[in-house]
């Protein structure tokens, strides 16, 4: 089968489009004929690698996949060859205390498909049946793959970990990016009163507005913290979503009302920075981190997508053979929505 693989950690020069043997499936797995696989920033971090990440090379990238079942393991129930499915990218053991409590994204053996084990940038993938969700005929493979990781992540962050309530004001720092696009839509669906979005370009802000943001701040026009403060009548917001990190965290904390929550699932500008603890305790602030989501979160948020209440934002669909070029484009950052590969 054809696949986009990483030969060793390094740069995008270490990627290649190659032939590999088809994967073998275990008794509780299915063989997925991949019809669509979506890119995430996670793919770029896996290319670089980090201490503690140990991969078998060549490693197949790609955390988001949808397709048709080509074979089923002997213990698989409820799915058959020919079924259209989409895959929850969070892997969990099913046995530890967290898993038994339905908190699979805290699993002792937590893994992400494409990060720790082979992913979906290939014609075929072996996937645990417990991660599958039946895909209705009216939803395309590309839409489903584009939605999976970012929607389950944004849902868990805002609704489960962040306990967003109707009537609260939300600030999303960053207008591009899949998690932010999902967060804007989910905040709207959850009944947020005002959704403020800080973005770098008019085009990205226009897209944020189309997804449900109602107050846009262009950070290229000056101090966005001041602009937010003015826009909120000098009160700040209840909830900030900040996945930018080092460049914005301090201003994000200052944008919160007393008792506010800062939610984070990542850090595109760097993970290490200083905090002024006086802001935290004196203003009763909470910082909430989370990553990925549970199977229940996944089924809930994908159900909303299938019902047309949330939309995947797809920028471009490429053939799998152009996967390396698509990753180069993601690295350059000139994208407004998800990039999808079709084997
Ligand atoms: Zn577990």
Instruction: Summarize pLDDT for 43-65 with one digit per residue, the tens.
Output: 999 999 999 999 999 999 999 99
Average pLDDT for residues 66-70, to the nearest whole number? 98
- 254: CA distance to ligand 1 center in Å? 37
**Distance of CA 295 from the midpoint of ligand 1 (Å):** 12
CA–centroid distance, residue 106 to ligand 1 (Å)? 7
Rounded to the nearest angstrom, the distance between the alpha carbon of 105 and the centre of ligand 1 is: 8
Residue 102 Cα to ligand 1 middle (Å): 9
How many angstroms is it from 130 CA to the middle of ligand 1? 13
Q: Is the pLDDT of residue 333 over 90?
A: no
If you measure from the C-alpha of residue 290 to the centroid of ligand 1, how many angstroms do you get, rounded to a whole number? Answer: 16
Higher per-residue confidence, 83 vs 275: 83
Average pLDDT over residues 141-146: 98
Ligand 1 centre distance from Cα of residue 100 (Å): 7
Q: Which pLDDT band, with edges at 50, 70 and 90, does 175 fall under?
A: confident
Q: What is the pTM of this model?
A: 0.96
Q: Which fold has domain 163-289?
A: Quinone Oxidoreductase; Chain A, domain 1 (3.90.180)
Rounded Cα distance, 322 and 342, in Å: 9
Overall average pLDDT of the 12-41 stretch: 97
What is residue 270's predicted lDDT score, i.e. its pLDDT?
85
pLDDT-derived band at 335, boundaries 50, 70, 90: confident
Reported confidence tier of residue 286, pLDDT bands at 50, 70, 90:
very high
pLDDT average, residue stretch 71-82: 98
CA 207 to centroid of ligand 1, rounded, Å: 38
Structure confidence by residue, pLDDT tens digits, 232-273: 999 999 999 999 999 999 999 999 999 999 999 988 888 899
- Kindly indicate whether the domain formed by 2-151+293-342 is annotated with CATH number 2.60.40.420: no
Ligand 1 center to residue 131 CA distance, Å? 13
Q: For the chain, what are the domain ranges?
A: 2-151+293-342, 163-289
Rounded to the nearest angstrom, the distance between the alpha carbon of 203 and the centre of ligand 1 is 42
Ligand 1 mean position, distance from CA 76 (Å) = 19
pLDDT value at position 61?
98
User: What pLDDT does 13 receive?
Assistant: 97
Query: Is residue 334 over pLDDT 90?
Result: no
Q: Across-strand partners of 71? A: 31
Fold agreement (2-151+293-342, 163-289): yes
Going from the Cα of 25 to the center of ligand 1, the distance in angstroms, rounded, reads 21
- Tell me what the pLDDT averaged over the chain comes to: 96
Separation of 152 CA from ligand 1 center, angstroms?
A: 18
Q: How far away, in angstroms, is 46 Cα from ligand 1 center?
A: 23
5 DSSP β-pair partners? 16, 60
Q: Is the pLDDT of residue 87 over 90?
A: yes
């Amino acid at each position: 089968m054809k696949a986009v693989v990483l030969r060793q950690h390094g740069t995008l020069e270490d990627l290649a489009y190659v032939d590999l043997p088809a994967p073998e499936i275990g008794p509780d797995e299915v063989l997925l004929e991949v019809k669509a696989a979506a890119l995430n920033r996670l793919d770029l971090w896996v290319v670089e690698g980090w201490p503690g990440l140990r991969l078998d090379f060549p490693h197949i990238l790609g955390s988001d996949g949808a397709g048709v079942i080509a074979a089923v393991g002997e213990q698989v129930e409820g799915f058959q060859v020919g079924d259209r499915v989409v895959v929850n990218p969070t892997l969990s053991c099913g046995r530890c205390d967290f898993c038994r409590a339905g908190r699979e994204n805290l699993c002792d053996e937590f893994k992400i498909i494409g990060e720790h084990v082979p992913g979906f940038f290939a014609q075929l993938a072996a996937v645990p049946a417990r991660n599958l969700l039946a895909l209705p005929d009216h939803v395309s493979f590309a839409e489903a793959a584009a939605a999976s990781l970012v929607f389950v992540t944004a849902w868990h962050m805002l609704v489960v970990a962040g306990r967003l309530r109707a009537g609260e004001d939300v600030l999303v720092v960053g207008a591009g990016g899949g998690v932010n696009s999902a967060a804007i839509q989910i905040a709207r669906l959850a009944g947020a009163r005002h959704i403020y979005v800080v973005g770098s370009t008019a085009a990205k802000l226009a897209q944020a507005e189309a997804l449900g943001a109602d107050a846009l701040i262009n950070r290229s026009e000056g101090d966005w913290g001041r602009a937010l403060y003015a826009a909120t009548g000098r009160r700040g917001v209840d909830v900030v979503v900040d996945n930018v990190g080092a460049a914005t965290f301090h201003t994000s904390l200052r944008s919160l009302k007393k008792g506010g929550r800062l939610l984070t699932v990542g850090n595109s500008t760097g993970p290490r920075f200083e905090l002024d603890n006086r802001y935290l305790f004196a203003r009763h602030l909470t910082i909430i981190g989370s990553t990925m989501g549970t199977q229940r979160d996944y089924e809930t948020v994908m159900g909303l997508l299938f019902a047309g209440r949330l939309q995947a934002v797809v920028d471009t669909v490429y053939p799998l053979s152009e996967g390396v070029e698509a990753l180069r484009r993601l690295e350059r950052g000139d994208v407004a929505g998800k990039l999808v590969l079709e084997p």
